[in-house]
Amino acid sequence: MDSKIDHFSRLTAAWLGLVALTLVGLALSEWARDLRWLPLVVAAMLWLKGALVARCFIESSVAHPFIARLLGIFIALAPLALVATAFFGSTLARWASL
């Protein structure tokens, strides 16, 4: 019975962490939208949220190592794409155009 209580508290803490990160992101979008380094902070928050979901809800820590690495790469792609688009958007658009 103790393991269920511990598991529940871990899930609750993860959920509260996701809510807190969402609220911080909302506050940043409202009050710090003109800062040049904001895409880096948003990308870090996106990576942290993805890692938190993978670790606590998908339980990637108990998955096969190949699946865990693949999931880690998948989680890292979105923040990397966000940073690339934020800082090199015109160059990427020029490369993607016909």
Q: pLDDT tens digit string along 32-57?
A: 888 889 999 999 999 999 999 999 99
Q: What is the rounded radius of gyration, in angstroms, for the C-alpha atoms of the chain?
A: 17
Residues 58 and 11: beta-carbon distance below 8 Å = no
Q: pLDDT value at position 8? A: 85
Q: pLDDT value at position 48? A: 96
Q: Containing domain of residue 31, as a range?
A: 2-96
pLDDT category at 4 given cuts 50, 70, 90 is low
Displacement of CA 57 from its chain's centroid (Å) = 14
Q: pLDDT value at position 5? A: 57
Over 60: is that where the pLDDT of 75 sits? yes
The share of the chain scoring above pLDDT 90, in percent, equals: 68
Q: Which two tokens stand for residue 1?
A: 């019975």
Model-level pTM?
A: 0.82
Over 90: is that where the pLDDT of 67 sits? yes
**Total domains, the chain:** 1
